[in-house]
Structure 1
């Protein structure tokens, strides 16, 4: 049995018998005015963060959600795209599709604004998304892509890139590892399916996005997720997993490399009213300007005594400069 078959079998089990404690099912989902989440749907909230970012969902987008789970985030996306087929939810596991269909029917009874036609559930997987090229505004996945081996992760990211319109956005939430996960854990298919052993480091994870063609990556959140202890996982020292929420844009990669925003700012501290690097960056004296990590490095090297570069906050919501 391949690791993907193990994952499919595992999620067929938890679709029929929800497991409290798997991923972050005990966390509270995103609260939105007029949105009610049933206990059945909350029990199947198999994710490590959130992919629903209101700022990315203006103008009635078409959303493709990969790995429907219990339907919670599909419902949240439908809150912003209130039309038939506004959300397309794809899952290869029949039991999960059936559970999501039941949960969305309950949601229609509890939310007067929601109609089940707003979410179209389709059979499919991350490697063969059942939509045409450049046909959706948003692709989203929560705690799924970390299950994949690196080669399969690249395939999934390329497929997401294919179906996105130019300028479209890939919204992801996945565990990352604070150091490489040892081989004996990476080879444990059950732990991989449980989102505990397939995580990449932050550097590896973002490089995969760049390799797939995404020219801009924005980190929405980075926070502790799980601690793998020594006794349970055969480690010499505990290994911290973190949850990373990101938005990646289908835009061209600049000649000097992709732009990754992690919340860094550049502050001009010199004697002039402003600093102009003649490359599109104007820094008024004393005012923080959000910049991508690449630009932060360039500005810090250019004027190390007159430009202060602040640390990454790991929380960025736009407005910066490449």
Structure 2
């Protein structure tokens, strides 16, 4: 039995009957749960609550949506202008989630949730469409395999399951660890592909404090139980940075491990990240002041910010550092006079003279300015 078939079988069992050992204790918002059918709640298997990062009007993508619990919670938060898409490859879980779509649409006032079949490490390939294609074009010979691959590539380009730059927020609840190690980097690249510039990620998952040895990875029960497929905690963050995300951080960290196996601690965390805007780095005269408490800090692009100093930044960095994610750490200072934008050419740690920003608007916190 492969990892993939083991996971499918375990979660098909979870759709049939409650599997208590597949989830960690999580304190979900009871107001959001009140609207959900009890079967969806009972047969959901997670380790965190990424729904609390959902905003009104968001297009939300839930990776490994399972029973649909997080999707239906998020649907209450996105409102009538938002949308929620759940992706899962398990037919039994998809059937369970879809079973309550009419009921939930009536409760919500609109049908704003959709469940689609796909692998989260290949969000461009529609597996339901592939099943229909295989019914008409079964694979019997080696040449059929080549033809199928060509069809898959065409589908990814022309009719992707999830389009590029189409999602405001990607969430997931204890699913990334179930993906084969060889596919994890591709999975995070796919997340980056589908998120809009400026879009967010909120991933609740299990991480390990040490690298997991191969003999534990080979244990089907531990892998399908969300244990031995866990990524080492630092490597988990680095994988999102390597994919191009910024503001990558542990927003939630459980002090007590969920399980300890051979001395390795496995715990629930929630990481958040932002996809930066794809725009040139232009100098328009902006500056930021790092509030402290440290003498200096660095970002993932190599910029250094000295405490209390007016640091020169490009307009793109200014918008990021004065947005909601960093607003409590930086004071933004817009240029006093409009200037012709120039390509950024300053070395890290360059200061902005007070004379260049004197009398300008200071962005002291998110959404407010003072002079």
For the superposition of Structure 1 and Structure 2, which TM-score range results when normalised by the shorter chain? 0.7 to 0.9
Distance 1:279-1:187 versus aligned 2 partners, 3 A rule:
farther
Of residues 87, 96, 99, the one that matches 1:102 is: 99
CA shift at 1:104, angstroms? Answer: 4.2
Distance in 2 between residues matched to 1:114 and 1:3, nearest whole Å: 40
Distance in 1 between residues matched to 2:215 and 2:43, nearest whole Å: 29
Of residues 117, 120, 141, the one that matches 1:126 is: 120
CA shift at 1:292, angstroms? Answer: 6.6
- For structure 2, the 5+ residue unaligned runs are 124-160, 279-285, 309-323, 331-371
Distance 1:27-1:173 versus aligned 2 partners, 3 A rule:
closer
* TM-score using structure 2 length: 0.64
Of residues 52, 55, 63, the one that matches 1:66 is: 63
The one-character-per-residue Cα deviations of 1:160-201 (angstroms, maximum 9, x if unpaired) are 111111111121001111122222111213311110111122
Distance in 1 between residues matched to 2:190 and 2:21, nearest whole Å: 31
Q: Residue in 2 aligned with 1:246?
A: 271
Distance in 2 between residues matched to 1:79 and 1:86, nearest whole Å: 10
CA shift at 1:70, angstroms? Answer: 1.1
* TM-score using structure 1 length: 0.73
- The 5 Å alignment of 1:188-267 reads 188-223=219-254, 224-229=256-261, 235=262, 238-251=263-276
Distance 1:3-1:33 versus aligned 2 partners, 3 A rule:
closer
**Preserved CA contact (<8 Å) 1:138 1:170:** yes
CA shift at 1:51, angstroms? Answer: 0.9
The one-character-per-residue Cα deviations of 1:129-149 (angstroms, maximum 9, x if unpaired) are 212111111111111111223
Larger CA Rg, structure 1 vs 2? 2
Q: Are 1:90 and 2:84 matched, yes or no?
A: no
- The 5 Å alignment of 1:137-216 reads 137-216=168-247
CA shift at 1:11, angstroms? Answer: 1.1
Distance 1:123-1:45 versus aligned 2 partners, 3 A rule:
same
Distance in 2 between residues matched to 1:5 and 1:46, nearest whole Å: 18
- Report the number of matched residues: 269
Distance 1:178-1:14 versus aligned 2 partners, 3 A rule:
same
- CA-atom RMSD in angstroms: 3.3
Distance 1:125-1:84 versus aligned 2 partners, 3 A rule:
farther
- For structure 1, the 5+ residue unaligned runs are 230-234, 254-277, 303-315
